[in-house]
Structure 1
Amino acid sequence: MESKLTSSRLMVFDFSPSDWATAMKEMIRVTKPGGWIQITEAISKSRGVDVRVVRNLGSLFSSLDNVEVDCVSCPTGWQDKWGDMALQNLLGFVKATRAGVMPILNITDKEFEDMVSKMAQECKEYKSLGSLPYAFGQKKRA
């Protein structure tokens, strides 16, 4: 079954550089002719993860039509309900990394919780902005 919209988001931590090419081929394969493919990622730095793909999202869409590549900035923890939701999303992600992060930082549960709490306070105090690069394009009609 083919899809009218095939979407991927926040996979930058899961895909190697070669995985991106494979994933894009698969997304194109399962999308109907004339259907749309969308990728949304987060700008981040991480050890052992190729985050450069975020800067090169457009290159993944070279075989598609009507391609748009851009980046949206979002207040994180301030301004309005969207900023509050962005902060909750960020904190949820950070908390989900607890098991992997604690041994690397050599910290306790309490220290981790304090770090997350401080992160939330600093996002509000310093009016943090999150950047979400995205790209979308349309599969060529047969």
Structure 2
Amino acid sequence: MPDPQCRPERTTKYSRGKRYLDNLEIHVCNIPYDGLPFEDNTFDFVQQNLSAIVYTRSDWSRMLAELIRVTKPGGYIQLMEVDYYIHHCRLEQDVWLEKVLRSIEDHFHVQPHIARQLDTLLKEAGMTEVDGRLVSIPFGAWGLDIGILWQQNVDNVVEAMKPFLSSLLNMDGSTYRDKWRATVDELEHAKAFHNVHISWGRKPFPQE
């Protein structure tokens, strides 16, 4: 995860994307700083997912401005983010998980709960016909296949973040892993879940 306090200098414009198929080309961009390698008004539909612990609040405004730039008037932008708060936690686990989220927020200046504000962000950026949905995803075997898959996904994220989170929380790696395993057991017993928020809006025509 990039530290917002250690941003690289803005690069000169992008290298050409790598084409894998006739209709698939991959570009790697730092959107808030380098923008997107596309002309204005290129796409009818633009989607961005899972950036809550990557962008700072000021990054969000710059990023949305860039997404709007490449969207055609009348086209739509859709955002999907996980709210990293886990519902139905018991008090002890809730306190620990909130400490983890506060550590991430304070150190990286990101907003783990930005998912709750997607509608507001789109409206502030000038989008119209803004709407959205919330989907709750179970955590663990109590949620059957999707709950097991979601737990595996969260496990992978927690493991990937271990080197810096264990340092931020003043834990060695073994203690951090044991604490998470105990948390997983409690979350499954409590039938915990995450909320995923999806919001979309239309880019107005100039006369609007």
For the aligned pair, the TM-score class normalised by the smaller chain equals 0.7 to 0.9
Structure ranking higher on relative contact order (CA contacts 8 Å, 6+ apart): 1
- What 5-or-longer segments of structure 1 have no aligned partner? none
1:44-55 superposed matches below 5 A: 44=84, 45-46=101-102, 47-48=105-106, 49-51=110-112, 53-55=114-116
2:129 pairs with 1:66: yes
Secondary structure of the residue aligned to 1:22 is helix
1:29 and 2:69 aligned: yes
1:120 pairs, out of 167, 181, 184, with 184
Query: Given residue 137 of structure 2, which amino acid in structure 1 is its aligned partner?
Result: C
CA root-mean-square deviation: 2.1
Aligned pair count reads 142
Give the C-alpha shift of residue 23 in structure 1.
0.7
Letter in 1 for 2:120: S
Mapping of residues 52-131 of structure 1, within 5 Å: 53-62=114-123, 63-77=126-140, 78-131=142-195
Equivalent pair of 2:83/2:114 in contact (CA under 8 Å): no
TM-score w.r.t. structure 2 length?
0.60
Deviations 1:12-43 (A, max 9, x none): 22212111111111111122333321112222
Superposition deviation, residue 51 in structure 1: 4.2
Q: Helix, strand or coil: the match of 1:107?
A: coil
C-alpha change, 1:113 and 1:50, in structure 2 (3 Å) is: closer
1:17 equivalent to 2:57? Answer yes
Shift of 1:3: 2.9
- Compare CA radii of gyration and give the structure with the larger one: 2
